[in-house]
Structure 1
């Protein structure tokens, strides 16, 4: 099931589907976007999110009928989020929907294949800027076919941090976000935000940024980013330290272990509920 030949077949199939989905996103940006809301006025979903997820799941099911799926929009419609040892595709059809709605050119398709509850394939594709990030377990990470690596930054005072406010307006989470801004900004070289967890992680993987953390994300936001960063030489852990719990809705990634540890020592923590 996990032979190199099978992994290559899975990768080739999902890559072709992802490129088709990217073309759909480009067309919808030009034509205009119909928007609905989820939990609040800034937690958005579009018909294109649903179309892209359906395209990917149907295409993968046709080729791999025994595989399981965790998709952002199918979970939102009531399907249980369950990561087992079975081959499972974890899909965010448009990560950065707010950006997509505004035609801000930083949204992406994020797809990962998990086997034995760990990622073996990751694809992050920004079709607007034609940025295609790919990774296969043990084979490195790539941007448009060129191998990428994390930076060697090991201290916060030299680090560029990707940092998001998120869509949740839950008071305790907002308080934590503001507290971490106050704690971190004086310690850092700088902060940036792209409005997409997957693209933030891609920036770390390619060495354009040095760290990223967030509370409130989901497994579909970080599934592809995890393998992209680890294959590029970086680390992905829980924000308090220790192994990543992929269903905890918490993540910290960094170019080096030393940098990750420094962040764990100063972050104000938040534990989103419910878990994925």
Structure 2
């Protein structure tokens, strides 16, 4: 723990490292980890639950009057009406973890009156610790980080997350990928949104976009990005995105070039833009996507409505 850090951030770091120790022990024999399925392709393990319990105990021991919003336990712990709410993802990248693919992390954020003020993302497999306090900058392993300085989309590396749930709008995502892939140096899908945002903050990638994300996926990472000099919002560029299940992040120049590409796929887009998105999806899927089975026909059309 550092005496120079905000006390609440120090407690969050303690919680993240304790959870990371649980994850690392389990990773030594991942085949023995019990796995259950919340829905198709959406997994939870005993490690998720143990990690979250440790985080909650650490936070509430220090701050018993604070609220908790956890991926696995919701808001069943902590004070229900507190202005201080910890937003927790105990193991972001569970699918990676259960396959032994070492891209996953612990994500902890503190929101005060709805605004994220403290953030910790801990990658236990690499022992990388990303931290931020609002107004004090972003850090990786005690080193100040900044978003990249690239200004041209064609030179940029962009990360994303692929749709994986029944009902996800696969045609729309293929169209978005087509828009981005043709204009950038590369598109990556690591599999843990919190780490994706941390990597934007550190300048490892130049931008990130994904739909369907929950507050615990993006709360900590969003503060890292903004404290590192970047921008975060929904696909139309509006900064109030935390509950909107759309996330776009990047250094300011690349962010500004991604918004015009992706805004028509936003559920907040104009009717004309949504019509353009439907046409783009139709053009892509006509060439590349086989017909879905009948039981999968009920897709989420929110991006086009």
- Does the TM-score normalized on the shorter chain lie above 0.5? yes
Deviations 1:170-189 (A, max 9, x none): 15x11111111122111111
2:73 and 2:137 map into 1 onto residues whose CA distance is 30
* Structure number with bigger Rg: 2
Q: Does 1:266 align with 2:261?
A: yes
1:36 and 1:9 map into 2 onto residues whose CA distance is 36
Q: Does 1:254 align with 2:257?
A: no
Q: Is the 8 A contact 1:238 1:250 kept in 2?
A: yes
User: What's 1:175 paired with?
Assistant: 171
Residue 220 of structure 2, aligned match among 224, 234, 242: 224
Find runs of 4+ consecutive structure 1 residues off by over 2 angstroms: 270-274
Q: Is the 8 A contact 2:235 2:266 kept in 1?
A: no
Q: CA deviation at 1:63?
A: 1.4
User: What's 1:70 paired with?
Assistant: 69
Structure 1 residues 216, 79: CA separation in 2 closer, same or farther (over 3 Å shift)?
A: farther
1:8 and 1:181 map into 2 onto residues whose CA distance is 39
1:48 and 1:192 map into 2 onto residues whose CA distance is 26
Give the match's secondary structure for 1:209.
coil
Structure 1 unaligned regions, length at least 5:
none
Q: CA deviation at 1:158?
A: 1.8
- Worse-superposed segment, 59-68 or 258-267: 258-267
Residue 19 of structure 2, aligned match among 21, 25, 36: 21
1:156 and 1:79 map into 2 onto residues whose CA distance is 43
Q: CA deviation at 1:169?
A: 2.9
Calculate the TM-score normalised by the size of structure 2. Answer: 0.81
Calculate the TM-score normalised by the size of structure 1. Answer: 0.89
User: What's 2:29 paired with?
Assistant: 31
Q: Does 1:158 align with 2:159?
A: no
Q: CA deviation at 1:84?
A: 7.6
Give the match's secondary structure for 1:153.
coil
Give the match's secondary structure for 1:113.
strand
Number of equivalent positions: 264
User: What's 2:124 paired with?
Assistant: 127
Structure 1 residues 17, 156: CA separation in 2 closer, same or farther (over 3 Å shift)?
A: same
Q: Is the 8 A contact 2:18 2:55 kept in 1?
A: no
1:85 and 1:153 map into 2 onto residues whose CA distance is 41
1:39 and 1:224 map into 2 onto residues whose CA distance is 25
User: What's 2:86 paired with?
Assistant: 89
Structure 2 unaligned regions, length at least 5:
268-299
1:219 and 1:165 map into 2 onto residues whose CA distance is 18
1:207 and 1:50 map into 2 onto residues whose CA distance is 32
1:181 and 1:13 map into 2 onto residues whose CA distance is 39
Q: Is the 8 A contact 1:168 1:174 kept in 2?
A: no
